[in-house]
Structure 1
Amino acid sequence: MSQDFRLPDLGEGLPDAELVQWLVAEGDTVSLNQNIAEVETAKAVIELPSPFAGVVGKLHHAAGDTVEVGEVLVTFDGGGDAAAPAPVHEAPAEPEEEKATPNLVGYGAAPRRSARPQRRARVARGDGSSAVDTAVLEAAPHDAIVEQPLERPLERPRSTPPVRKFAKDLGIDLALVEASGVTGLITRADVEAYAARVGAAPAEAPATAAAASTPAPRSGDRVTRTPIRGVRKHTAEAMVRSAFTAPHVSTFHTIDVTKTMRLVASLKADRSLEGHRIGVMAVAAKAVCLALGRNPSLNAKWDDAAGEIVEHHYVNLGVAAATDRGLIVPVIPDADAMTLVELADAIRELAGVARSGKTPPAAMMGGTFSITNFGVFGIEAGTPILNPGEAGILGLGSVARRPWEHKGKIALRDVMTLSLSFDHRLVDGAEGSRFLVDVASVLEDPGRALLMR
Structure 2
Amino acid sequence: MTIDFRLPDLGEGLPEAELVQWLVAEGDTVALNQTIAEVETAKAIVELPSPHAGVVTSLHAAAGDVVEVGAVLISFDIAGEEPTAPGAETASRATAEPSAEENRAQPNLVGYGAAPRGSARPQRRARGQMRPAVGVDTAVLEAAPHDVIHTPEPIEALRERPRSTPPVRKLAKELGVDLALVQPSGATGLITRADVESYAARVTPTEPTVVPALAPRSEGERTTRIPIRGVRKHTADAMVRSAFTAPHVTTFVTVDVTATSELIASLRSDRALEGHRIGIMAVAAKAVCLALGRHPSLNSRWDAEAGEIVQHHYVNLGIAAATERGLVVPNITDAQSMTLVELADEIGRLAEVARAGRTAPSAMSGGTFSITNVGVFGVDAGTPILNPGEAGILALGAVRRQPWEHRGEIALRDIMTLSLSFDHRLVDGEQGAKFLREVGEILREPGRAMLLG
Q: What is the TM-score normalised by the length of structure 2? A: 0.79
- RMSD of equivalent CA atoms: 3.2
Partner of 1:159: 165
Partner of 1:117: none
| Contact 1:158–1:186 (Cα < 8 Å) also in 2 | yes
| Partner AA of 1:66 in structure 2 | V
SS in 1 for 2:243: helix
Whole-angstrom CA distance in 2 between matches of 1:16 and 1:439? 40
Whole-angstrom CA distance in 2 between matches of 1:179 and 1:330? 30
Whole-angstrom CA distance in 1 between matches of 2:412 and 2:182? 51
Partner of 1:123: none
Q: Compared with structure 1, are the counterparts of its residues 406 and 107 closer, same or farther at alpha carbon in structure 2 (3 Å cutoff)?
A: closer
Aligned match for 2:192, one of 182, 186, 196: 186
Deviation per CA, 1:222-245: give whole Å up to 9, x if none: 000010111110010000000111
| Contact 2:182–2:191 (Cα < 8 Å) also in 1 | no
| Partner AA of 1:227 in structure 2 | P
Aligned match for 1:205, one of 206, 213, 225: 213
Q: Compared with structure 1, are the counterparts of its residues 286 and 234 closer, same or farther at alpha carbon in structure 2 (3 Å cutoff)?
A: same
| Partner AA of 1:38 in structure 2 | E
* 1:55-70 matched pairs, under 5 angstroms: 55-70=55-70
Whole-angstrom CA distance in 1 between matches of 2:7 and 2:430? 50
Matched, 1:173 2:172: no
SS in 2 for 1:282: helix
Deviation per CA, 1:9-52: give whole Å up to 9, x if none: 22431221111111112232211211010111112111111112
Whole-angstrom CA distance in 1 between matches of 2:82 and 2:437? 66
Q: Compared with structure 1, are the counterparts of its residues 128 and 59 closer, same or farther at alpha carbon in structure 2 (3 Å cutoff)?
A: closer
Q: Compared with structure 1, are the counterparts of its residues 166 and 411 closer, same or farther at alpha carbon in structure 2 (3 Å cutoff)?
A: closer
> 1:345 Cα shift?
1.0
| Contact 2:183–2:191 (Cα < 8 Å) also in 1 | no
How many pairs does the alignment contain?
A: 391
Partner of 2:32: 32
> 1:54 Cα shift?
2.4
SS in 1 for 2:244: helix
Seq. identity, %: 66
* 1:417-436 matched pairs, under 5 angstroms: 417-436=417-436
Partner of 1:449: 449
Whole-angstrom CA distance in 1 between matches of 2:157 and 2:71? 33
Unpaired runs of 5+ residues, structure 1, are 85-96, 109-126, 135-151, 208-215
> 1:450 Cα shift?
0.3
Whole-angstrom CA distance in 2 between matches of 1:392 and 1:321? 17
Partner of 2:258: 258
Partner of 1:225: 225
Unpaired runs of 5+ residues, structure 2, are 84-100, 114-150
Instruction: Tell which has more relative contact order, 1 or 2 (C-alpha 8 A, sep 6+).
Output: 2
| Contact 2:393–2:421 (Cα < 8 Å) also in 1 | yes
Matched, 1:313 2:313: yes
Partner of 1:88: none
| Contact 1:217–1:223 (Cα < 8 Å) also in 2 | no
> 1:82 Cα shift?
5.7
Whole-angstrom CA distance in 2 between matches of 1:318 and 1:106? 25
Whole-angstrom CA distance in 2 between matches of 1:9 and 1:413? 52
Whole-angstrom CA distance in 2 between matches of 1:219 and 1:167? 30
| Contact 1:8–1:69 (Cα < 8 Å) also in 2 | yes
Q: What is the TM-score normalised by the length of structure 1? A: 0.79
| Partner AA of 2:106 in structure 1 | P
| Contact 1:22–1:38 (Cα < 8 Å) also in 2 | yes
Deviation per CA, 1:101-145: give whole Å up to 9, x if none: 33244558xxxxxxxxxxxxxxxxxx99797999xxxxxxxxxxx
SS in 1 for 2:346: helix
